[in-house]
Structure 1
Amino acid sequence: MSSRKELKEAYRAMQFRKGVYQLRNQRNNKLFIGSSMDVDRAWNSLRIQLMSGSFANEALQRDWNEQQGQDFHYEIVEVLQEKETDDPGTDYKEGIKTLEKLVMMELEPYGEKGYHQRKEK
């Protein structure tokens, strides 16, 4: 049986898909774009926040509540490509945020197309 320390080390060594996801309201086609260090588990976290009524995006939370969570589709849009030779301690957060900005530029999820507000320059 593995010790607690060995289990922690094994968890730290695990590789998770990092990237960008979208949540599409299929009734009005509005998009919410987000990013995560683990896009495979991000949907669970997002769904829990929405179900508890604690999600920060008020417009998305309102639509979720009105539709009782029906007709929302989660999809992984982009996955950050990691080099196998990279150091396991590498911080990928900056790369993920850059990838998210590129997806936002491409999909433009603002106004009638999405749940985001354009940032003032």
Structure 2
Amino acid sequence: MDKSKRKELQEEYKQIKTYMGAIQITNKLSGKIYIDTFSNLKNKWFTLQMQLDMGRFANAELQKDWKALGAENFSYEVLEEKETDEIADVKWECKVMLKRWLEELQPYEDKGYNKPLQR
């Protein structure tokens, strides 16, 4: 590939918008939910499914239910998204967003897979 084409492709890539945001995975049978935030939502459901299918998901309780019940009994939803180019500190914004969604939805114990935040 010549330099001019490469530079053109790099510029096109820079123009692609990326979105950070909050997601929810729902157990369709029990109604339990899992909430998390990510700095880049592109292909996130595919990545999370792969982790769950391989038995490598960070949340042990959700992982156990996924294995026992199967992927077809779970759904994925983006709760909120923001363009990352609008945000100075994406990592901090993810933490703030996660805290807000956890407070609103309270996905703990019988209602969800998340662990309460330490104060």
Q: Shared topology, TM-score over 0.5? A: yes
1:29 aligns with 2:31: yes
Q: Distance in 2 between matches of 1:68 and 1:35?
A: 23
State the Cα RMSD in Å: 2.2
Aligned residues: 117
TM-score (norm 2): 0.84
Residue pair 2:17, 2:83 contacting (<8 A) in 1 also: no
Residue pair 1:80, 1:95 contacting (<8 A) in 2 also: no
Residue pair 1:80, 1:96 contacting (<8 A) in 2 also: no
Question: Runs (4+) of structure 1 moved beyond 4 Å?
Answer: none
Query: How far does residue 67 in structure 1 lie from its aligned partner after superposition?
Result: 0.9
Q: Paired residue for 1:58?
A: 60
Query: How far does residue 11 in structure 1 lie from its aligned partner after superposition?
Result: 1.9
Residue pair 1:17, 1:37 contacting (<8 A) in 2 also: yes
Gaps of 5+ in 2: none
Q: 1:76-117: CA deviations, max 9, x gaps? A: 10112668xx58xx4422212211210111001000011011
2:56 aligns to what SS in structure 1?
A: coil
Query: How far does residue 68 in structure 1 lie from its aligned partner after superposition?
Result: 2.0
How do 1:32-111 and structure 2 match up within 5 A?
32-80=34-82, 86=86, 90-111=88-109
- Choose 52-61 or 8-17, whichever is displaced more: 8-17
TM-score (norm 1): 0.83
Query: How far does residue 5 in structure 1 lie from its aligned partner after superposition?
Result: 4.1
Gaps of 5+ in 1: none
Q: Percent same amino acid at aligned positions?
A: 34
Q: Distance in 2 between matches of 1:114 and 1:60?
A: 9
Query: How far does residue 69 in structure 1 lie from its aligned partner after superposition?
Result: 1.5
